[in-house]
Structure 1
């Protein structure tokens, strides 16, 4: 028998065995080897060898940081208000032996745990607190999730609550409340402005009357002229007040006003005469 025909099959078997036993693990990954159906060892990144037919690679997974985005989930706050909340979880597997053999689907298990823990954390807060203490909620979630996932060979690195959304009905109520508050403030500012304007007009009227009284002092018909001017200003003021829809109007008798001013004018004239008499003495 030709020796080549004997060696050639042996060489083919050797190369086939070598190729079949060679495994290259990508950087950042980790592989688990099973021998006869049982876990045997881990394979690190680089060139590795296994025993064909006896050993097999069960999984090859990444050990790098991963992101799990949780879709909006319904939750109820401590003050019994329904909200929708979503979050993002940053995690990585530090031990794929635990992650693969201790739990059926590690990512699905983490997702379910996050939802349960998130609802529980929101349920311990009132609505206002969920907005003001977002960082505290993140911290609480991180501590609880990291502790719970340690047995799975998982390290939770960060937790970020993205959005806490109120139902549309509550949002509409809040918008109406804000609009009503804005209208209330606008009405207060308007009323305050009208009040200041009225005070300014009143002060101007008083100053005008004083100036007119000084100008008319010494004239024989000064009282009659002053009474007429005061009555005319009173009528004009009442007419302007009557044009306002938001003003409560109290009408006074212009005759009483003008007579009162006349009396003040007489008193002022009398005081002036006394000062002149005392000066002459």
Structure 2
């Protein structure tokens, strides 16, 4: 009976020890095992065995990406306070026992690690912002991130981590500074608007002046061309008229008729047409024989000029 009890007791102890030696590690984690408080080894995800009583899991280290949100302030070169909100994505550099041991024992707890990381980012940003003026900071977001990354990469590597990404989500100033910056921007916008309106008005008036000048120039050219064509037409008419009169006078001479008859006929036709087409106008003509003879002499002189 006593032997049976002893076997049962031994079985219970073995079972307890076996159960206490079984440990499971979640996916995307590794477990750090210590022996009497000293680093012993690393357990990978899944089912693992440890030495009961002597070994224990000191901590579990996540090996997937982790995110931390940071808030801090910096002072610009012209003594303006700038408030930053940033997000850091980081992960354990690798799963080697050396790296996991470094991550597990570098800081006393997770809060200490986050405090050190925040201080590193803040120091890097402060160093950069201190050389800039407040009006420049808002436009240098990418430069601030690049400078902070260059510093944080090296710092995290010494702690066993790798920086995946760093973003600056928000950059703000104190309310008084933001109000003054808004007034400056509004004044600059008003100035730019006035300049653009002035330039637009200048362009409009210049184009109107050019259009008016072009219209005047075209009208003058058209008038000059019309006058030239009228002159050419009148000269052509007179040339043809003189040619016709000369030919008619020559025909009369060839047939033994005094060319003065042509002038007399033209004179009488002119009087007839004036009387026929007149609209109440009065034309005074010298109807005496002397007047007619004088007019014929002038007409004969014209025909002589046409012959020459």
Note whether the superposition's TM-score is higher than 0.5: yes
> Would you say the 8 A contact 2:124–2:147 is kept in 1?
no
Against the structure 1 CA distance between its residues 93 and 137, is the aligned structure 2 distance closer, same or farther, given a 3 Å change threshold? same
Alignment equivalent of 1:166, drawn from 156, 166, 173: 173
| CA distance in structure 2 between the partners assigned to 1:29 and 1:192 by the alignment | 66
The root-mean-square deviation of aligned C-alpha atoms, in Å, is 2.9
1:69, 1:161 → 2: CA distance? 10
Equivalent in the alignment of 2:84: 85
Aligned to 1:165, what secondary structure does the other structure show?
strand
Structure 1 residue 106, shift from structure 2 partner: 2.0
Whole-angstrom CA distance in 2 between matches of 1:182 and 1:134:
22
Larger Rg: 2
CA distance in 1, matches of 2:43, 2:6: 36
User: Is the alpha carbon distance of 1:147 and 1:14 closer, same or farther for their aligned partners in structure 2, counting shifts above 3 Å?
Assistant: same
Do the aligned partners of 1:88 and 1:161 also contact (CA within 8 Å) in 2? Answer: yes
- SS in structure 2 at match of 1:125: coil
CA distance in 2 between counterparts of 1:181 and 1:125 reads: 21
Equivalent residue of 1:133, what SS? helix
Unaligned runs of 5+ in 2: 94-98, 213-308
TM-score relative to the length of structure 2? 0.57
Alpha-carbon shift at residue 2 of structure 1 (Å): 5.5
Q: What is the total number of aligned residue pairs between the two structures?
A: 200
1:135 aligns with 2:139: no
- 8 Å contact from structure 1 (residues 138, 161) kept in 2: yes
Distance 2:172 2:105 in 1: 38
- 2:58 corresponding residue in structure 1: 58
Task: Quote the Cα distance in structure 2 between the aligned partners of 1:67 and 1:78.
Answer: 31
Q: In the alignment, which residue of structure 2 is the partner of 1:31?
A: 31
Structure-2 change in CA distance of 1:124 and 1:90 (3 Å): farther
The answer to whether the 8 Å contact 1:99/1:106 transfers is no
String of CA shifts for 1:62-119, please: whole Å, max 9, x gaps: 1111111012x22112343321112111111233311232222322221222222222
